[in-house]
Amino acid sequence: MQLLSATLWTDTGDKFEREPQIVKVRHIQTGADYTFINWHTIFGTTAERQTEIQQIASVFSSIQSGSSSDQDVILVGDHNREATSPWWVTLTALSPAVGYRVNDLTSINTSCAFASRYDHFWFQGSYVSEYSASGRDYIADMCTFRNGLSDHAPVYLSLYSTADTD
Ligand SMILES: [Ca+2]
Ligand SMILES: [Ca+2]
């Protein structure tokens, strides 16, 4: 995998507590390229969370239309909201339609139990035809994991292609 670029979103007007990170990569063997938007949504208040989530659609749209060589834009991260929430409608209503993968319980509470569905991948299925599989990784010991590594389970996305398609 070749790293093509890694930049921070220019957050004009300070709309996001944490600026989205834009990472472009290319699979060397096939030439297939992908653009990831890595973004950790504010936790803050309910209203602040809702506002940020409604505003991420404009970032996705801008990144998508900003490249003529790659249409495979994939938003990933801890989004502090379940993927089925109506807050996402500004994102899902883009054209082509944006959908999600992974809406499993991923955050881990102080009792070492899964608590919330906060970690997702969002992309336009008509472009990311390379989608193969996704999910939440297995954790053998929840308390050891939470106290020693992270209070979110890892999630994964597998992409498969034999060539660059867009
Ligand atoms: Ca591509
Ligand atoms: Ca594609």
Distance in Å, CA 44 to ligand 1 centroid = 34
Domain-located, residue 40 = yes
Domain-located, residue 59 = yes
Bridge partners of 6, per DSSP, are: 23
**Domain extent for 118:** 2-159
Domain-located, residue 164 = no
Give percent of the chain above pLDDT 90. 99
Domain-located, residue 166 = no
Burial of residue 30 (number of CB atoms within 10 Å: 0-12, 13-18, 19+): middle
Distance in Å, CA 108 to ligand 1 centroid = 34
**Beta sheet of 119-124, edge-to-edge order:** 2-8, 21-26, 33-38, 73-78, 119-124, 98-101
pLDDT in tens, 70-129: 999 999 999 999 999 999 999 999 999 999 999 999 999 999 999 999 999 999 999 999
Q: Which ligand is nearest to the CA of 67?
A: 1
> What's the angle, vertex CA 117, arms to CA 113 and CA 123, rounded to 5?
145
Domain-located, residue 165 = no
Q: Which ligand is nearest to the CA of 4?
A: 1
Distance in Å, CA 50 to ligand 2 centroid = 30
Residues with CB under 5 A from ligand 2 (ion): 72, 127, 165-166
**Is 90 exceeded by the pLDDT of residue 45?**
yes
Q: Is omega for the bond preceding 96 within 30 degrees of 0, making it cis?
A: yes
pLDDT in tens, 79-93: 999 999 999 999 999
d(CA 2, CA 22): 15
Number of domains, the chain: 1
Under a CB-based contact definition with an 8 Å cutoff, are residues 39 and 56 in contact?
yes
d(CA 104, CA 92): 19
Distance in Å, CA 150 to ligand 1 centroid = 31
Domain-located, residue 148 = yes
- Sign of the CA dihedral running 139, 20, 45, 92: negative
Distance in Å, CA 96 to ligand 1 centroid = 15
Return the closest-CA partner of residue 117 out of 162, 90, 83: 83
The CATH number given to whatever domain includes residue 32 is: 3.60.10.10
Q: Considering the entire predicted model, what is its pTM?
A: 0.97
Distance in Å, CA 70 to ligand 1 centroid = 4
Distance in Å, CA 66 to ligand 2 centroid = 16
**Helix, strand, coil percent content, the chain, rounded in steps of 5:** 20, 30, 50
Under a CB-based contact definition with an 8 Å cutoff, are residues 9 and 19 in contact?
yes
